[in-house]
A = this chain, B = another copy of it.
Amino acid sequence: MVQEEQDFNKMWSDLGMDVAAHNSLLDAVGQMYETVFLTQKNRPKSTTYLDNFANNLHSGRIREMVDARKDGKTKKIIGSFCLYVPEEIVIAAGGIEVGLCAGANWNTDEAERYIPRNTCPLIKGFMGFKLGRVCPYIESADLVVGENTCDGKKKAYEQFSKMKPMYVMDVPHVRNNNTKEIWRQEIYRFAEKMEDETGQKITLESLSRAIKLVNDKRRALQRLSMTRAADPAPISGLDSLLTIQAAFMDDSARLTQAINALAAECEERAATGVGVKPHGAKRVLYTGTPMAVPNWKLFNIIEKCGGVVVGEECCTGSRYYKDLVPEDGKTVEEMLDAIADRYLNIHCAIFTPNQDRRDDVISMAHRLHVNGVIDCSLQFCTLYDMESFSMEEAVQKAGIPYMHISTDYSTEDEGQLKTRVEAFLEMI
């Protein structure tokens, strides 16, 4: 164990990380994990995979990726922050795509030398993690792929690219034939970039295999999510969220197997009425900004207050798994077109108009038998803050109770949030 710790320290140091600072980060997140996850009652047994995943997040998983790159099994590690960066293409070109650290405050003072104080915590988070050299995903990545989604990220990438090799995808903000075509070309451009980066051609076979691999992961997540329609809910929102968070970082094939095991257990639980909360516990649908590891704050509050989150309409939720890429493409071009279509159909708040997102929320709310919707935006996220007004209108019109929350990564408002969430759960 001591030997292993020393080995990891050496690995982090070789990656150019600030090992001492990183160790204190790990301690803090480890403690948080214990308090948030390990205090949960009646978890499915298969969540031991998740505990293991969390435990290896910055150590074993990084070792695995770095070794794979050393052995040539993986050509490049590609970091990203957003659902619009198609992992099928990265994998087909021989790379691994991983989500980067952005879920906690770190090195905020230093970050505010590059971006304004009034910046959403997710952006401030990734700047701080990079500046503090405490994210092994950022440090091990050969290239970071950004996307012009919100104003904040678009401009923050201009700063981030001074610190790390970056490539930025341009994402349309309206859906019409013109932007569909432009996005298709953007997907082609990205495929070429990945081939250049990894030195490996994307072939019919490699792309077909990659699509299948990622579809399998998405199918497993769909299967798991279906079980959450049961009352009592067979799995907590926290564990479900962690499963998706893992989908951005863990090995795809292994994780898919684990999710399927979890789903099978949850199906069994649903059939036999076993759950994480008593029957009748208030069921919440989450919608809003994504939640990167270790941002478990709101879900923890909801579930510690006796509610249960049974669905997530967000990037770390249904948007990640609800759509597959058709597997019957006959040429690389056909498959790339299918990928372009699939990714353009993500109902992100960057699009205008964005009625589809409201429709998704309402249909999920019905399908999952929720008692209320909690819509949360990270502070200073203009897009989700703005959309909360039309979301509230739509959800209430559908006869579903609604609450909007604006929060950040600090613990300061936890008391206040707890009071609001408790009141909401009582009311619904």
Contact = CB atoms under 8 A, between A and B. Distances in A.
B116 A151 contact: no
Contacts of A185: 178
A385 B174 contact: no
Nearest to A155: B386
Given A179-B170, A182-B179, A158 B114 contact: no
Copies in the assembly, this chain: 2
A380 interface: yes
A350 B158 CA distance: 12
A219 to B, nearest CB: 33
Interface in A341-382: 349-350, 352-354, 379-380, 382
Contacts of A382: 116, 118-119, 150-152, 155, 380, 382
A119 to B, nearest CB: 8
B150 A352 contact: no
A155 B387 contact: yes
Interface in A160-188: 168, 170, 172-174, 178-179, 182, 185-186
B159 A173 contact: no
Contacts of A170: 172-174, 179
Interface in A81-136: 113-116, 118-119
Contacts of A179: 170, 182
B158 A173 contact: no
B150 A151 contact: yes
A390 interface: yes
Given A151-B150, A174-B170, A157 B352 contact: yes
A168 B351 CA distance: 13
B178 A114 contact: no
B385 A116 contact: yes
Given A116-B385, A389-B159, A182 B174 contact: no
A270 interface: no
B174 A386 contact: no
Contacts of A154: 173, 352
A428 to B, nearest CB: 23
Contacts of A26: none
A151 B151 contact: yes
Nearest to A113: B389
A148 interface: yes
A137 B119 CA distance: 34
Contacts of A174: 148, 170
A165 to B, nearest CB: 15
A31 to B, nearest CB: 32
A310 interface: no
Given A118-B385, A158-B390, A170-B174, 18 more contacts: A113-B389, A114-B389, A115-B386, A115-B389, A116-B386, A116-B389, A148-B174, A148-B352, A151-B350, A152-B382, A155-B352, A158-B352, A158-B354, A159-B389, A178-B185, A179-B182, A380-B380, A380-B382
Interface of A: 113-116, 118-119, 148, 150-152, 154-159, 168, 170, 172-174, 178-179, 182, 185-186, 349-350, 352-354, 379-380, 382-383, 385-390, 406
- The 7 tightest CB contacts between A and B, nearest first, are A155-B386, A116-B385, A151-B382, A151-B151, A170-B174, A151-B383, A154-B352
6 contacts: A116-B406, A118-B379, A148-B352, A150-B382, A157-B352, A382-B382
